[in-house]
Homo-oligomer: A and B are copies of this chain.
Amino acid sequence: MTRDALLVQSVEKALRVLQAFDGGNRFLGLTEIAARCGVDKSAAQRFAHTLHLAGYLEKCPETRRYGLGKRLLEVTYNYLRSNPLIEAATPALIELRRFSGQHIKLSLFDDTSVIYAIRQQSEREYFAASLVGRRVPTFCAAGGRAILAELEPARAADIVARSDLAPLTPKTLVDPNLLLEEIAAVRRQGYAVAAEQVLLGEVVIGAAVIDAGGSPVAAVHIAGSLAEWTPEEYARKFAGPAIETAQALSRATVKRIREAS
C-alpha cells in the first residue's frame, strides 16, 4: 500500500470521531468513541478534545461524555447557502407544496445514495423520518430511480451492482434485474413512482434535475399517503408538476452557471 502523501491522518481520524455519532447516539464516552473509530483511548481523547474546543462536540457536564455540537448546523448552513441549486429550488418547492398540499423534498445525488437537502412538509405530516441530511439508497428512492434513469444504462447498472440491496420495507424491490427494468420504464415515462419502497404507506413521485453538462444531480420528490391515493392516481395527478419543477430547476442551474462565467 502506497499511502497518500497529502492525506493528513490525524484529520481523517478526527472526522471518523465525528461520524461515530451516527445512529442517533446522543452521547458517547471516550472509551466508546475509541472502540467505534478503531483508535486507542488516547487518540479519542485528543480528537474529542480538539473537536470540543472547536464547538463541533459538546460535553455533558455531569456524565463527562460527548455529543454533537450545535456548531455543526453552521457548516450545513454554509453548504445550503453556497449551493445555487438549493437557492433556486427553495421557492420552487414552496410553490409546489402550496399547489399540491403534499410532502415535497429535494434530494441530492451521491452515488449509491441520495441525501435530502430540502423538505417542505405537508399540513398533515405523517412522515417524520425525512429530516434534512437523511441518506437513502438511490436504488429505492423515487428520486433516486429518476436519477438512475437519466444516467447511461451502464452507469446505472454499475450503481445498482455496487448498492447494498437491503430492503427498507417488505415491499422494497431488491432484485437487480427487476430494478433495471423498472429504471428503463422510468426512463421511458420521464418520472418514477415508488410505493412503499422506503416507508410503508407512502407513495412518492420522483423527477430528476439535470445540470448544465446533462448529468442528473438531484431529484424532486412529491410524497403522499396510500391511505388517500392509489399509485396510479397519484402519478396521474402529480407526475406533471414534479417533472415541470424538476425541469425548471434544470434550467435554473444552467442559467446560474452561465451567469457565473
Q: A interface vs B, CB < 8 Å?
A: 4, 6-8, 10-12, 14-15, 18-19, 21-22, 24-26, 45-47, 49-51, 53-54, 56, 67-84, 87, 90-91, 94, 98, 108, 110, 115-117, 120-121, 123, 125-126, 128, 131-135, 260
Contact = CB atoms under 8 A, between A and B. Distances in A.
Contacts of A134: 77
Q: How many copies does the complex hold?
A: 2
A9 B227 CA distance: 55
Given A6-B50, A50-B8, A76 B76 contact: yes
B74 A135 contact: yes
A51 B15 CA distance: 9
Contacts of A7: 46, 49-50, 53
7 nearest A-B pairs in the assembled complex, by CB-CB distance: A77-B133, A73-B133, A76-B76, A68-B79, A11-B14, A6-B49, A8-B50
A115 to B, nearest CB: 5
Contacts of A19: 74-75
B24 A82 contact: yes
B78 A73 contact: no
B8 A47 contact: yes
A83 B22 CA distance: 12
